[in-house]
């Protein structure tokens, strides 16, 4: 469907790439990435709420390759990565 420049400008398209356990929680079966169309002005926190994820749930969020906070605004074609930290290793 055709959209005017004003309509396109009011939406940002964001690619969400979850890793590890989050893949099963967030992605539809058989997909590697989730594309979201969000209103202009949307933040990282808006996406987390949409996906029912909380940063206090031991979640590391990246936005375009850098650490992201919930307050950070999203731009069109942004890449949001979601990672849960690994546990393990040697304890003394």
Q: What is the pLDDT of residues 3-30, one digit of tens each?
A: 555 555 589 999 999 998 899 889 988 8
Provide the CATH number for the domain around residue 71.
Answer: 3.10.20.30
Task: Say what the pLDDT of residue 33 is.
Answer: 95
Burial of 47 from C-beta contacts in 10 A (0-12 / 13-18 / 19+)? buried
Domain extent for 52:
5-83
Decide if 91 is inside a domain. no
Decide if 75 is inside a domain. yes
For the entire predicted model, the pTM comes to 0.79
Query: Is the pLDDT assigned to residue 34 strictly greater than 80?
Result: yes
Decide if 79 is inside a domain. yes
What do you get for the CA distance between the two ends of the chain, in Å?
A: 61
Task: Say what the pLDDT of residue 58 is.
Answer: 81
């Amino acid at each position: 469907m055709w959209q005017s420049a004003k309509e396109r400008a009011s939406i940002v398209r964001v690619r969400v790439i979850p890793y590890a356990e989050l893949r099963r929680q967030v992605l539809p079966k058989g997909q590697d990435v989730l594309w979201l169309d969000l209103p202009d002005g949307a933040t990282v926190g808006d996406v987390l709420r949409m996906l029912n994820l909380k940063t206090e749930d031991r979640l590391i969020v990246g936005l375009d390759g850098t650490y992201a906070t919930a307050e950070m605004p999203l731009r069109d074609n942004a890449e949001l990565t979601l990672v849960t930290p690994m546990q393990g290793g040697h304890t003394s």
